[in-house]
Amino acid sequence: MPILSDRLKAGNTGIPLTLLESREFESWTQGRPGEQVAWLRASGFTGKGLALLPGENGELAEVVLGVASLDDQWILGDLAKRLPEGDYLVQGSDELLDRAGLSWLLGNYQFDRYKISEPVKARLVMADEQRVARLQRLAEGVALVRDLVNTPPNDMMPEHLSEAARALAGRFDATFNELVGDQLLTENYPTIHAVGRASVHAPRLLDLRWGNAEHPKVTLVGKGVCFDSGGLDIKPAAGMRYMKKDMGGAAHVLGLAQMIMSLNLPVNLRVLIPAVENAVAGNAFRPGDVLQTRKGLTVEIDNTDAEGRLVLCDALAEADTETPDMIIDFATLTGAARVALGTELPGYFTDADALARDLNAAGKKVSDPVWQLPLHTPYDDFLKSEVADLVNCAPSPFGGAITAGLYLKRFVEQTPWVHFDIMAWNQRALPGRPVGGEAFGVRAVFEMLEQRYR
């Protein structure tokens, strides 16, 4: 797996990297040596894109990058792979350096577990050692999300997800426990067991704890469906192709947990991950089955492909028993959320107005946008069952993200709660964001937590 930290270092020496807004190019040239301006004009540079300035002996003396706006979060997202080997010194405001450093690091990301990639040899240098360390840790959290989601399902089944969580706990002196297979029935997690029992990879509930018990308690819950065939309501081939990403919620909470622990946020952290494979076998749960849940509610199965909310509901019910300061869950839950917001804008649901305000502000501040969707309570009617307390999937094709959120809400009664419905996948390459696994809303949530608890 890639290590990004060595691509950004603290120091005061390196080839100068000048960032300027394209509209300022002409005024910027006024203070530059005439031979440099002549070179830029001869090479056709007009303040847009990349220019390399030679020194007296032909060596690279300076790099100039002209951009539309210095406020762009991804300002250096595609630069690292375009520069020759060397150290490049960047200077500017605190905000600019934060954007530059994080986008540079994430632009270095490559998933190279299964094939050899050409290493990036350019390094970014900035003077503030503390800033460098913080940006490295934030980038490593995002990289962990990407790595986990990108890993193919033959190497990312529930036991592998368990290994990743256990390794993370070991790094930060956290405690780790898990319930495996029939232990889920003994300890009353019946819906997690029901969804995962058809797989040869035993279902699990992963439980990580870290921090001072006297600090505010924050509980993260992540959907860990390591592969989703759809169960007996099997998906078509096209719908199944990228279902390795259905454990993206688990990846998000592990990446967020790594940020929290590595930056020593003063919280009492708990991470719960129901890890399963939704497979097809003779003992798979069926449409029409009625399942018990940890909370005591009964659920009639309308569709076995609505399995994420089933594994989440037991974990959320457990999280709620401790009445933490907040519960935040991440899940690749519905296609309906993607229809509403597209693949690059994560939707979230909450009735906690103060949390929503803080999340919106945090997302805007760190350029990690999130969008609140409504928990429209009249749609609760769509969850009614004739034989159980509720169904797992509304019969109406409309408002599917809302009804999924309302289903989950039944299992959180005592605690301020936020539910993220995410894509966890980039479908197009953008600066700093290659095609593949991606963290959505993680930096926004971390910023919100840091503002509350620092």
CA separation, residue 318 to residues 147, 248, 291 (Å):
28, 21, 17
Contacts 24+ apart (CB under 8 A), 349-354: 349/373, 349/374, 349/375, 349/401, 349/402, 349/405, 349/409, 349/418, 349/419, 349/421, 350/375, 350/416, 350/417, 350/418, 350/419, 351/375, 351/409, 351/417, 352/326, 352/416, 352/417, 352/418, 354/416
CA separation, residue 256 to residues 81, 177, 309 (Å):
27, 19, 21
Per-residue buried b or exposed e for 209-222, using 16+ beta carbons within 10 Å of the residue's own CB: bbbeeeebbbbbbb
Coil, strand or helix: which one is 9? Answer: strand
- Token pair belonging to 307: 């399995």
Shortest CA distance to 344 belongs to which of 429, 452, 404?
Answer: 429
Spell out the alpha helix ranges (H) of 187-247. 190-196, 237-240
Taking residue 80's Cβ as centre, other Cβ atoms within 10 Å add up to 23
Instruction: Please state, in angstroms and rounded to a whole number, the distance separating the CA atoms of residues 98 and 226.
Output: 34
**Is 309 considered catalytic here?**
yes
Amino acid identity of 50? L
Question: Which one from 123, 309, 409, 443 is the annotated catalytic residue?
Answer: 309
* Residue 233: φ, ψ to 5°: -85, 65
Shortest CA distance to 8 belongs to which of 130, 174, 173?
Answer: 130
- Token pair belonging to 436: 């593949």
**Is 235 considered catalytic here?**
yes
Instruction: Please state, in angstroms and rounded to a whole number, the distance separating the CA atoms of residues 107 and 129.
Output: 20
Shortest CA distance to 108 belongs to which of 76, 86, 130, 149?
Answer: 76
Q: Provide the greatest CA pair distance for the chain.
A: 83
How many CA atoms does the CB half-sphere of 59 hold within 13 Å?
Answer: 7
Instruction: Please state, in angstroms and rounded to a whole number, the distance separating the CA atoms of residues 454 and 432.
Output: 28
The residues facing 331 across adjacent strands are: 421
Contact in structure between 63 and 88 (CB atoms under 8 Å): yes
Question: Which one from 82, 134, 137, 235 is the annotated catalytic residue?
Answer: 235
Instruction: Please state, in angstroms and rounded to a whole number, the distance separating the CA atoms of residues 267 and 454.
Output: 9
Name the residues annotated as catalytic: 235, 309
